[in-house]
């Protein structure tokens, strides 16, 4: 009997060879086809109706020919791709959510969609705190000045940052990443507040669950960790930033749509905010001429918070575990459309 075909389509970060290595004994059960997209050497982009994708519909249609199973990273699964791949039954995305998949179209075609949440939680939490410290202490500006031949050691009381040890930090969103950020900040001695109507916080976590307005009014540090939803888009706008204490610091390593960057720019220029930092933006890549490029006390990185070797390893391992559950006829742990599996059973 012919073996089913499994497509492993990775990229320069989560390579198809890494995906294969995590399959273990499962690898012998398939005819495996390997392919790659150009991410991250080329930034992801919108492809047809899906976001944050890499490669092309044409590549996917060709690579998926005859495949019933697929493990991917940023490769797009669009309505057009699905229309050309009638044998496909399972599509696993090595990401925190299937944003590069048209989930309703997959459901209509009977394709189960799985994903790999929290695979980069540690990486993103560490990057969040790294950006926070960089912004608080003006590290990028000091480094740049030294490289240009200027000894910029002229800090004053007014220009100096504050310490985490006595600061109050407010986390908007308290999932896998937010919890890790809280643990790191508590290690510095910070008081940590959290706003997340869906989270349960145990007393042992030493994090105070508060209302959104209380979090804004009490926090000198605000860090965003919410998922992008209709309710969370624009959650930190001009009005909310104005409610923050003067001299507060913002960090966003979640999604660019959560924060009003024009309002952040104005608050930094007016001095209402002491500093801000971001790894994500409403438009990516950041367009030339963006006001953020010349904004004072603003630290930026190009959506790299989740980019560690361990994150790639975890994603591939979780994907392999989901594939094993599927083959054993068991419920998937992380399925975006479980009704597909229920209908099949």
| Residues assigned a catalytic role | 255, 284, 303
Q: Is residue 75 within 8 Å of 52, Cβ to Cβ?
A: no
Q: What is the Cα 230 distance to its own chain's centre? A: 17
Q: Which of 180, 185, 149 minimizes the C-alpha distance to 168?
A: 185
Other CB atoms within 10 A of residue 221 CB:
26
Q: What is the Cα 99 distance to its own chain's centre? A: 11
Q: How far apart are CA 41 and CA 39, in angstroms?
A: 5
Q: Is residue 166 within 8 Å of 187, Cβ to Cβ?
A: no
Q: Tokens 């910029």 — which residue?
A: 152
In 26-88, the DSSP E strands lie at: 31-36, 45-47, 50-53, 67-72
Structure tokens of 68? 């019933």
Contacts of 58 (CB under 8 A, 6+ apart): none
Structure tokens of 345? 């059973």
Contacts of 334 (CB under 8 A, 6+ apart): 114, 115, 116, 117, 318, 322
Q: How far apart are CA 103 and CA 106, in angstroms?
A: 5
Give the CA angle between residues 210, 213, 216 to the nearest 5°. Answer: 90
Residue 232: CA count within 13 A, CB half-sphere: 17
Q: Which of 149, 126, 152, 125 minimizes the C-alpha distance to 139?
A: 152
Other CB atoms within 10 A of residue 148 CB:
8
Q: Which of 224, 227, 187 minimizes the C-alpha distance to 207?
A: 187
In sequence order, what are the beta bridge partners of 288? none
């Amino acid at each position: 009997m012919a073996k089913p075909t499994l497509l492993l389509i990775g990229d320069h970060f989560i390579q198809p060879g890494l995906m294969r290595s995590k399959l273990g004994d499962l690898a012998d059960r398939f005819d495996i086809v390997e392919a790659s997209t150009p991410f991250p050497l080329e930034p992801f982009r919108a492809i047809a109706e899906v976001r944050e994708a890499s490669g092309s519909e044409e590549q996917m249609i060709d690579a998926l020919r005859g495949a019933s199973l697929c493990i991917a990273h940023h490769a797009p699964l669009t309505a057009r791709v699905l229309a050309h791949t009638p044998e496909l039954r399972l599509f696993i995305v090595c990401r925190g959510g299937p944003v590069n998949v048209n989930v309703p179209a997959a459901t209509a075609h009977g394709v189960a969609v799985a994903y790999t949440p929290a695979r980069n939680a540690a990486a993103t939490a560490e990057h969040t705190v790294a950006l926070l410290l960089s912004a608080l202490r003006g590290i990028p500006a000091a480094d740049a000045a030294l490289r240009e031949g200027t000894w910029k050691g002229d800090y004053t009381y007014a220009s100096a940052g504050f310490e985490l040890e006595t600061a109050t930090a407010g986390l908007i969103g308290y999932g896998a990443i937010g919890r890790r950020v809280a643990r790191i900040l508590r290690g510095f001695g910070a008081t940590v507040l959290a706003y997340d109507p869906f989270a349960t916080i145990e007393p042992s976590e030493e994090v105070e669950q508060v209302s959104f307005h209380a979090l804004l009014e009490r926090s000198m540090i605000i860090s965003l960790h919410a998922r992008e939803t209709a309710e969370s888009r624009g959650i930190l706008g001009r009005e909310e930033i104005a409610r923050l204490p003067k001299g507060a610091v913002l960090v966003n390593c979640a999604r660019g749509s959560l924060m009003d960057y024009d309002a952040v720019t104005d608050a930094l220029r007016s001095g209402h905010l002491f500093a801000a930092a971001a790894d994500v933006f409403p438009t990516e890549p950041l367009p030339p001429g963006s006001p953020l490029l010349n904004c004072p006390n603003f630290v930026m990185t190009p959506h790299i918070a989740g980019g560690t070797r361990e994150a790639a390893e975890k994603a591939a391992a979780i994907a392999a575990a989901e594939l094993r559950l599927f083959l054993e006829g068991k419920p998937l742990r992380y399925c975006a459309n479980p009704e597909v599996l229920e209908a099949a059973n």
